[in-house]
Amino acid sequence: MKQVGIVRKQKGEVIQVASQLKKWFEERGIEVCVHETELSPFLDVVIVIGGDGTLLHAAKLVGDKCIPILGVNLGGLGFLTEIGLSEIYSTLEMILKGDFETEDRMMLHASVLRDGENVYEQRVLNDIVFMRETLARIIELETSVDGAYLNTFRGDGLIISTPTGSTAYNLSAGGPIVYPRLNTIILTPICPFTLTNRPIILPESATIRVKLAEWATGVSLTFDGQTGLHLQGGDMTEVKKANTCIRLIKSPYRSYFQILRAKLKWGELPKERT
């Protein structure tokens, strides 16, 4: 390993941890770059210090470079940042020896078409969300899958999520938890006007098109909660599986289900009967 990147929050404790990590790597002859706006394509590993929001920002910086990402949790919930503060150095020792596993997480690609012209595009690791900007107005989203009409969702909005994002906004909106290594696309309406509108899981090959009514106003589109776009009436958004993925380094200390139980407070393992 020759070069490591660090992506961090601008907070006192996080800055201190990043500084200690930088010194630790340099003592081992490894160059360290602390990044905020871009990442070198020659990095061997990217270390994220913060919470899931910081990791989503790092995923955007990594783009299609396929650099393995290690998430260190100094934030809140932490489904993506799996490594605890006390586990950093023991985990890094394993990584330096090549004793680690990664898993590829599916991403989505969204394109916004206005009068037939592509005006914006973005890749996401978690979700793409259609949201109303005004309090007392229901929005209508005409939705099709692979060219076949699915439904016109009426309500506060619509979430299009990856399995990784299933434990984010999708979960809060009543969507299903999907194992993150599955390649599927989840559609979850937000506070639907019709109570029979329910989440639906689609195959990775699906192309989803969501059209805003011509008369519609006050609707925005957000990407991983990091960036947003104000939509205009008649805008068409096309969402499909991205041609690249994000590579996360797995925790050597706990499984996905242990993390899930801990974060959702499902309780401990049952005790063995004697």
What are the chain's domains?
Answer: 3-101+250-264 (3.40.50.10330), 107-243 (2.60.200.30)
Q: Compute how many other C-beta atoms are within 10 angstroms of the C-beta atom of residue 86.
A: 7
pLDDT in tens, 142-188: 999 999 999 999 999 999 999 999 999 999 999 999 999 999 999 99
Q: Which of 199, 165, 181, 190 is nearest to 77 (CA)?
A: 165
Q: Which of 75, 81, 84, 89 is nearest to 23 (CA)?
A: 89
Which three-class secondary structure string do you get for 103-158?
A: EEEEEEEEEEEECCEEEEEEEECCEEEEEECCCCCCEEEEEEECCEEEEEEEECEE
Which pTM value belongs to this model? 0.92
Residues with Cβ < 8 Å from 64, sequence gap 6 or more?
243, 244
Token pair 């996401």: residue: 124
pLDDT of residue 136: 63
Weakly modelled stretches of the chain, pLDDT under 50: none
Query: What is the token pair recorded at 178?
Result: 């999907």
Residue 231 CB burial class (10 angstroms; 0-12, 13-18, ≥19): buried
pLDDT of residue 29: 94
Q: Compute how many other C-beta atoms are within 10 angstroms of the C-beta atom of residue 246.
A: 29
pLDDT of residue 77: 59
Q: Which residues are catalytic?
A: 52
